[in-house]
Structure 1
Amino acid sequence: MRHPFIAGTAVLVLSVAAAAGQARTVGFSTDTCDHDYSTPYDVDLTAAGLSFHRTDGEPAKIFLHDGALRVDGKDMAVSRSDAEALRRYEDGVRKLFPQVAEIAREGVQMGFSAMTSVTLTFADGDQRASMLEKLKRKQAQALREIDEGIGAGHWSANRMTETFAGSVSDSVGELVGSVTSGAVSAALSGDSAKVAALQARAESLDKTMDREMDKRSHALEAKTKAICPRLNELAELQRGWKVRLDNGKPLELMTIKPKHSDDDDSDEDEHKKVASS
Structure 2
Amino acid sequence: MRHPLILGTAALALSLAASTVPAEAHGFNFSTDPCKYDYSTPYDVDVTASGLSFHRASGTPAKVFLHDGALRVDGKDIAVSRADADALRRYEDGVRRLMPQVAEIAREATQLGFSAMTTVTLTFADGDQRAGMLEKLKRKQAQALREIDEGIGAGHWSSDRMTETLAGSISDSVGELVGSVTSSAVTAALSGDSSKVAALQARAEALDKTLDREMDKRSHALDAKTQKICPQIDDLAAVQRGWGIRLSDGKPLELLTIKPKENKDDDESAHKKVASP
Q: Same fold (TM over 0.5)?
A: yes
For 1:270, the equivalent position in structure 2 comes to none
Q: Secondary structure of the equivalent of 1:147?
A: helix
1:20 and 1:112 in contact (8 A); partners too: no
Which amino acid in 2 is paired with 1:166?
G
Is 1:178 matched up with 2:180?
Answer: yes
TM normalised by structure 2 equals 0.91
| 1:29 to partner: Cα distance | 2.0
* Stretches (4+) displaced over 4 A: 20-23
CA distance in 1, matches of 2:175, 2:183: 12
| 1:218 to partner: Cα distance | 0.5
| 1:192 to partner: Cα distance | 0.4
For 1:111, the equivalent position in structure 2 comes to 113
2:188 and 2:196 in contact (8 A); partners too: yes
Which amino acid in 2 is paired with 1:238?
Q
2:10 and 2:120 in contact (8 A); partners too: no
* Aligned Cα root-mean-square deviation (Å): 1.6
| 1:22 to partner: Cα distance | 5.7
1:119 and 1:132 in contact (8 A); partners too: yes
TM normalised by structure 1 equals 0.91
2:105 and 2:222 in contact (8 A); partners too: yes
2:189 and 2:197 in contact (8 A); partners too: yes
Shift in CA distance, 21/241, structure 1 to aligned 2, threshold 3 Å: closer
CA distance in 2, matches of 1:190, 1:23: 46
For 1:10, the equivalent position in structure 2 comes to 11
Aligned pairs for 1:69-218 (under 5 A) are 69-218=71-220
1:108 and 1:142 in contact (8 A); partners too: yes
CA distance in 2, matches of 1:22, 1:118: 23
Which amino acid in 2 is paired with 1:114?
A
| 1:27 to partner: Cα distance | 6.6
| 1:20 to partner: Cα distance | 4.2
Q: 27, 36, 39: which one pairs with 2:38?
A: 36
Shift in CA distance, 23/191, structure 1 to aligned 2, threshold 3 Å: farther
Q: 51, 64, 67: which one pairs with 2:66?
A: 64
CA distance in 1, matches of 2:263, 2:202: 43
For 1:55, the equivalent position in structure 2 comes to 57
Shift in CA distance, 110/219, structure 1 to aligned 2, threshold 3 Å: same
Give aligned pairs, total.
263
2:23 and 2:30 in contact (8 A); partners too: no
CA distance in 2, matches of 1:207, 1:112: 18
Which amino acid in 2 is paired with 1:14?
S
| 1:21 to partner: Cα distance | 6.1
| 1:16 to partner: Cα distance | 2.4
For 2:270, the equivalent position in structure 1 comes to none
CA distance in 2, matches of 1:244, 1:58: 13
Q: Specify every segment of 5 or more residues in structure 1 that has no aligned partner in the other structure, as ranges.
A: 264-277
For 1:225, the equivalent position in structure 2 comes to 227
2:29 and 2:40 in contact (8 A); partners too: no
1:60 and 1:72 in contact (8 A); partners too: yes
CA distance in 1, matches of 2:246, 2:38: 23
Identity of aligned residues (%): 73
Which amino acid in 1 is paired with 2:254?
E
CA distance in 2, matches of 1:93, 1:151: 13
